[in-house]
Chain A
Amino acid sequence: MRRRLLVLLPPLALAAALFGAWEIYVDSGDVSAFVLPAPHTMAAALWNNGALIWSNFLVTAEEVGFGLGAALVCGFATAVAIHFSPLARRAIYPLAVGSQAVPVAVLAAPLVFWWGFGMSPKLVVIALICFFPLVVTMVDGLAAVDPEQLKLLRTLDASRWQVFRMAELPAALPAALSGTRIALAVGVIAAYIAEISTAGTSTGLGHEINADLASLQTARAWGATLVLFLAAIACFYTLALIERRLAPWAYRSRGDRR
């Protein structure tokens, strides 16, 4: 327990130093509070608007959760197709790479046209953005099995499906979980982009930040940002813990780095 607390010390000390410097900088009066609010006004805005920010956070969290879930399902299916079929690899991979360059704004109108003003178009945007890191890490993970291992299983009469289930799938698990962590981090940004680019949105932290900035409620926008910031950290480390539970073998060689 003592060791756990000591592990928390360096990030907390660094954060305190940065916030302290920020506070001193803003209080010295060189910058308007509308441009960059001081941490204490940010904290006050967060405290005073707790219920509002929390309800918006829940909306965003739901979007990220379902969007990431959809990306996981589609990403896994695509990775398996690419893994098994060189034809699928040649056909899908370039399109998946190119899809990363498509600005969400150009997709927003057709997505709303097809799926309306509810959550669905936002899930599609988040899923699209999370899809790519998931596919890349899963494809690499599936292909990372030692070719000698595959040879060995073949002499033991394993079918293609058994090789997949017994060797390739478990071997890909650590990579897939790493991909999920990356996808979750970009998923939070994706939720912001989705909320500000799909018409008819009135909830979610992204929408709130955008509206607050427009109405010069800068401190509240920063308070909401802080919530996103903390949520990203919490998700990342929760997934790291899950990864260790599900794929403990992947950690021995790398040592205790997280």
Chain B
Amino acid sequence: MAHRKLFPGADPSNLWGNARGGSDVASGLMPIDKPSQAPNRTPSGGAAVRRVSVAYRPARGAVVQALSEVSLHATAGELLAVVGPSGCGKTTLLELICGLREPDAGEIACAPAALMPQRDLLLPWLSALDNAAVALRIAHVPKARARARATELFAELGLHGFERARPHELSGGMRQRVAFVRTLLSGKTLLCLDEPFGALDAITRAEMQSWLVDALRREPRTVVLVTHDVEEAVVLADRIAVLSPRPGRVVGELDVALARPRSRTDPAVIALRERALGALGPDLGAPASVERE
């Protein structure tokens, strides 16, 4: 439980202080809401999605309802895992939170969010350090200072010695670590992780999960983690939202009040995993429909 106190603001009443607009806009808040709407209460560092629906209208073929009346929230410092079968609109949800897409209906009130996609998308011509520092360079931080800050984080998060490596010289797990440091250095309080370990083998994946727990203990952020791996959700999250197959709807929410680090063989973890799988429903074994992500 030691790290839990590092997550600030367990009391939700503190978290809804900043009205959207004003100085928050200047600090990089993305203008997602239509200005005509009633002022939204935005959790500082949190995310709230209310009754949001999104449909895709392909040039040919029928309209695809990706999300239907989804309501979710992550309070500041919380790690919310969103689990669901392939094609349930998880990636769409993160795009909404990151301001890359507008919903057809519903409201989104989120702190500035940075995305970490499943593929690391490191720039092949930059070193690991410069890739991690890319957000600082975008913010016009001088090169030497950007590198110094990335170097600090590399040391803190066990990446020391890999600063000068090019992405192709790194293993898949190391590349994801660098991609995560890049997300941390974005300066955003809200991190959206889209299947961050989905492409890794089981052993690397387990290593990465404990690494992430440790990294978030040292560098607390609000996290929305999208995954189709229920076990990963139980091992990492404070709370789990379960989405149905397309159109994605929230069909269950679970609190994970377990101390970290969690072992996947812990009976409490297994019990929660069973509950989450139960919420996913009896259709779970059916082949997943076409994956959009």
Contact = CB atoms under 8 A, between A and B. Distances in A.
On whether the two chains bind one another, the answer is: yes
A215 interface: no
A66 B114 CA distance: 47
Given A146-B121, A170-B125, A151 B166 contact: no
Given A151-B100, A247-B125, A157 B115 contact: no
A149 B166 contact: no
Contacts of B123: 149, 166-167, 170
Given A158-B138, A249-B168, A149 B114 contact: no
A244 interface: no
A95 interface: no
A3 interface: no
A155 interface: yes
A147 to B, nearest CB: 10
B114 A156 contact: yes
B178 interface: no
Contact of A156 (B95, B135, B168): B135
Contact of A149 (B100, B121, B135): B121
B166 A249 contact: yes
A249 B124 contact: yes
Dominant SS among interface residues on chain A: helix
A155 B115 contact: yes
B137 A166 contact: yes
B139 interface: yes
B117 A152 contact: yes
Interface string B108-122: 000001110101010
A152 B115 contact: yes
Contacts of B166: 249
A100 B52 CA distance: 53
Contacts of A252: 168
B98 interface: yes
A152 B121 contact: yes
Nearest to A247: B125
B119 A156 contact: no
Interface in B12-54: 28
A154 interface: yes
A148 B168 contact: no
A162 B137 CA distance: 9
B86 interface: no
Contact of B138 (A148, A149, A156): A156
Interface string B80-115: 000000000000000100111000000000000111
B127 to A, nearest CB: 11
Contacts of A153: 134, 138
A166 B125 CA distance: 10
Contacts of B114: 155-156
Contacts of B139: 157
- Lowest 6 CB-CB distances: which A-B pairs, in order? A249-B124, A155-B115, A156-B135, A155-B98, A158-B138, A170-B125
28 contacts: A148-B117, A148-B119, A149-B123, A151-B95, A151-B100, A151-B117, A152-B115, A152-B121, A155-B98, A155-B100, A155-B113, A155-B114, A157-B135, A157-B138, A157-B139, A157-B186, A159-B138, A166-B123, A166-B134, A166-B137, A166-B138, A170-B123, A170-B125, A247-B125, A249-B124, A249-B125, A249-B166, A252-B168
Given A156-B114, A157-B186, A249-B168, 8 more contacts: A148-B117, A149-B121, A152-B117, A153-B134, A156-B138, A158-B138, A166-B134, A170-B123
